[in-house]
Amino acid sequence: MFSADLLANAVVSGLLLGGFYAAVAIGLAIVFGQLDIVNIAHPAFVIVGSYTAYIFNTTFGFDPILVGVAAMPLFFAVGVAIYRLYYAAFERTGQESLSGLAFFFGLMFIIEVTLILAYGVDYRLVSAGYSAQTLSIGFVDLPGRMLVPFLVAMTLTAAVWLYLSRTFMGRAIQAVAQDRGALQLMGADPVRIKQWAFGLGIATAAIAGALLIIIGPVEPSVGRQYIGRVFAIVVLGGMGSIQGMLIAALLLGVTENLVSTFYGPSWSPAVAFGVLLATLAIRPAGLFGR
């Protein structure tokens, strides 16, 4: 049962999986980590991204990743609109904790049920040339349906990291997380910056969704399994740190894959939530707390 090449394969495919998790979690790392908005509907937006990729792939034959990139502006606009509503209804009146949470919970539910009403609960999948190919290095296999999402996820992570640390707007987003009042004194409008950042966070869901449906078939309630994963990753990564988030994502991917290889796939959902519970109970600041 236990052998070196099985272990090596489990670790490598865990790393590929973890890289993909980073793409799902990065939007939340911005929205929850930097802005302190508990968007538990983020995985639901990822699923919307998957269905967008699915629709354009099956009707026009477009590549899912291209569809994801093309859908980003639309997702951005939706994100901005949702933030405006969230700000007007909750943040301005200081009710974001209880009502804000319930708001996103309801939003997640609405998205899921709408998708079920429109497309049913059947698993949907896309076809792309690279998903059937496999790259083999020694005894380690790198299947294309995992490798391509991994590479795209790494590109996305690097791009967001560069954006946040190099551009004016990116630094302003980090500033709004640290000290809202000081930012206002510098002549920047925190609400406009937060709305931009929220839009950016939702826009990444378009790409993450395309990657999700390349990796495997998707149905509307799949998003729920990702709630635990993405929050585990963001909290473990130390809230808003992009490097920390990436390391946490890779760690979770490898752990989950090892558990599913050696104990059976039915146990793997508990890994993320177990890690999350343990982190919250023992070290809420995460591995790389700010």
Q: Beta-strand (E) ranges in 27-181?
A: 134-137, 140-143
Residues in contact with another protein by the rule CB under 8 A: 38, 40, 85, 89-90, 93, 95, 97-99, 101-103, 105-107, 109-110, 113-114, 116-117, 221, 224-225, 227-228, 231-232, 235, 266-267, 269-270, 273-274, 276-277, 280-281, 284
Is the CB of 114 or the CB of 165 nearer to another protein?
114
**At closest approach, how far in Å is the CB of 249 from another protein?**
17
Look-up of token digits 């290889």: 261
**At closest approach, how far in Å is the CB of 161 from another protein?**
24
Is the CB of 115 or the CB of 152 nearer to another protein?
115
**At closest approach, how far in Å is the CB of 65 from another protein?**
29
Under DSSP, the state recorded for 135 is: E
Is the CB of 146 or the CB of 233 nearer to another protein?
233
- The torsion region of residue 94 among left (phi > 0), alpha (psi -120 to 50) and beta comes to left
Is the CB of 49 or the CB of 220 nearer to another protein?
220
Tokens representing 28?
């939340």
**At closest approach, how far in Å is the CB of 183 from another protein?**
22
How many Cβ atoms from other residues are within 10 Å of residue 264's Cβ?
A: 9
The alpha carbon of 260 is separated from its chain's Cα centroid by a whole number of angstroms, namely 21
Contacts of 10 (CB under 8 A, 6+ apart): 254, 257, 258, 261, 262
**At closest approach, how far in Å is the CB of 184 from another protein?**
24
